[in-house]
Amino acid sequence: MSEEKDILILAIESSCDETAAAVVKNGRDVLSNVISSQIDLHTLYGGVVPEIASRKHIEKINQVIEEALREAGTALEQIDAVAVTYGPGLVGALLVGVAEAKAIAYAAKKPLVGVHHIEGHIAANFIEHKELKPPFFSLVVSGGHTHLVRVKDYGKFDIIGRTRDDAAGEAFDKVARAIGLGYPGGPKIDRVAKEGDPDAVAFPRAHMEDAPYDFSFSGLKSAVLNYINGCRMKGETYSQADVAASFQKAVTDVLVENAMRAAKEYHMDKFAIAGGVASNTALRAAMEKACEAEGIELYYPSPVYCTDNAAMIGAAAYYEYRNGTRHGWDLNAVPNLKLGER
Ligand code: KG4
Ligand code: ZN
């Protein structure tokens, strides 16, 4: 019996504030995963500054790619395709990765595969769960996105619900800044909330009458701001831990409720969470509990594969490559790329 040839993909990710490169074998085995984070740089400004992000990507990208190839013990000639995130994201940041990937693919005479960033986040689940195959449901919660997605097949998606305003991670970051925790807010709120009471403050949970799977977090963010301003005006102090825990509970309640309702309506017995916020310990615990009660198998990536990385892009790219997706030398950055668009 002839064995199928291994497919090695060099993947590049630069859509936001991480410059990353990875070598992934057959979409599931990560041979290297190098990430150069700009977090310290952007912390000075309380959030990502697009112009600075692009400049830093330029400085780091060659070094990160060289390291990824070296760590994987792979020469460029052994690579089957070069993959890159080409949207959505910050246009200047995306362009750095896209231009680099085109140059490498052209020089090394390798096919070029452009990847959707969210498709990458979802595919992060394939790395550690070798048995996970579509169809399944996914909740993608990151700094820029909150999507409830039906994954019908590799690369085939239906978006069932999305945020109307702020993304879940964005709400974490804004609330963290308001209560003095700084950037990036998600991991800090996660940590501080462990010391707080999630029922201390009754923050609102938004439900959309006309679209039952959509989300809205801007009202919740305003409620937190009003609460802390109210305390300040009355000369009262508030507990940072209680506000963090109550806010986090309000976010996770809505995420879990919509996710479970969708999984049940679509009779889906597998659910995978993805994106930076998928590393939130309260969300994971609440999803575990809800899925167990419904007999649904829950999957989530390790934290390093939840936040932006290139291994997830290599995982998604493998299935795109097998389905015949190839991009030309005119590939451009598409800041508002739609999921499933090629
Ligand atoms: O996926 P990601 O790295 O970038 C985007 O594609 O946006 O997600 C970053 C977001 C940030 O908003 C960050 O605050 C949030 O994920 N995040 C978390 C946690 N770790 C990262 N939010 C809640 N709890 C966490 N433990
Ligand atoms: Zn991301």
- Let me know if residue 327 belongs to a domain: no
117 lies in the same domain as 163: no
* 140 and 237 housed in the same domain: yes
CA–centroid distance, 43 to ligand 1, in Å, is 14
- State whether the beta carbon of 88 lies less than 6 angstroms from ligand 1: no
Nearest protein Cα to ligand 1, atom 23: 186
State how far the Cα of 230 lies from the Cα of 166, in Å rounded to an integer.
23
Range of the domain at 54: 8-124+306-322
Helices (H) and strands (E) in the chain, counts: 11, 10
Q: What are phi and psi of 142, to 5 degrees?
A: -135, -165
Phi and psi at residue 280, to the nearest 5°: -65, 125
Q: Is 235 exposed, middle or buried (0-12, 13-18, 19+ CB in 10 A)?
A: exposed
Q: Residue 39 — pLDDT band, cuts 50, 70, 90?
A: confident
Residue by residue, what is the 3-state secondary structure of 194-230? CCCCCCCCCCCCCCCCCCCCCECCHHHHHHHHHHHHH
Mean pLDDT of 138-151: 97
Residue 197 pLDDT > 90: yes
Cβ(276) – ligand 1 distance below 6 Å: yes
Where does 111-168 show beta strands of DSSP type E?
112-116, 136-141, 146-153, 156-162
Of the pLDDT bands very low, low, confident and very high (cuts 50, 70, 90), residue 23 is very high
Query: pLDDT digit string (tens) for 246-262?
Result: 999 999 999 999 999 99
Q: Give pLDDT tens digits for 86-128.
A: 999 999 999 999 999 999 999 999 999 999 999 999 999 999 9
DSSP state string for 118-133? HHHHHHHHHHH-TT--
Q: What band does 43 get if pLDDT is binned at 50, 70 and 90?
A: confident
Same domain, 292 and 312: no
Contact 94, 333 (CB under 8 A): yes
d(CA 176, CA 158): 32
> 342 in a domain, yes or no?
no
Within a domain: residue 130?
no
Query: Would you place residue 4 in the very low, low, confident or very high pLDDT band (cuts 50, 70, 90)?
Result: confident
The answer to whether residue 23 is domain-embedded is yes
> Burial, 172: exposed, middle or buried (Cβ in 10 Å; 0-12, 13-18, 19+)?
buried
Name the 3-class secondary structure at 235: coil
Given a contact cutoff of 8 angstroms between Cβ atoms, the answer to whether 79 and 21 are in contact is no
Answer yes or no: is the C-beta of 186 below 6 A from any ligand 1 atom.
Answer: yes
Categorise residue 10: left if φ over 0, alpha if ψ from -120 to 50, beta otherwise. beta
Nearest protein CA to atom 7 of ligand 1, as residue: 143
* Per-residue pLDDT tens digits for 267-293: 999 999 999 999 999 999 999 999 999
Q: Is 201 in the same domain as 316?
A: no
Distance 271 CA to ligand 1 centre (A): 19
- CATH number of the domain residue 81 falls in: 3.30.420.40
Task: State both tokens at 113.
Answer: 């595969």
* pLDDT, position 342: 87
d(Cα 337, Cα 87) in Å, to the nearest integer?
5
Is 335 part of a structural domain of the chain?
Answer: no
For the CA of 184, the nearest atom of ligand 1: 14
Q: How confident is the model at residue 45 (pLDDT cuts 50, 70, 90)?
A: confident
- Cα of 307 to ligand 1 centre, how many Å? 6
Domain count across the chain = 2
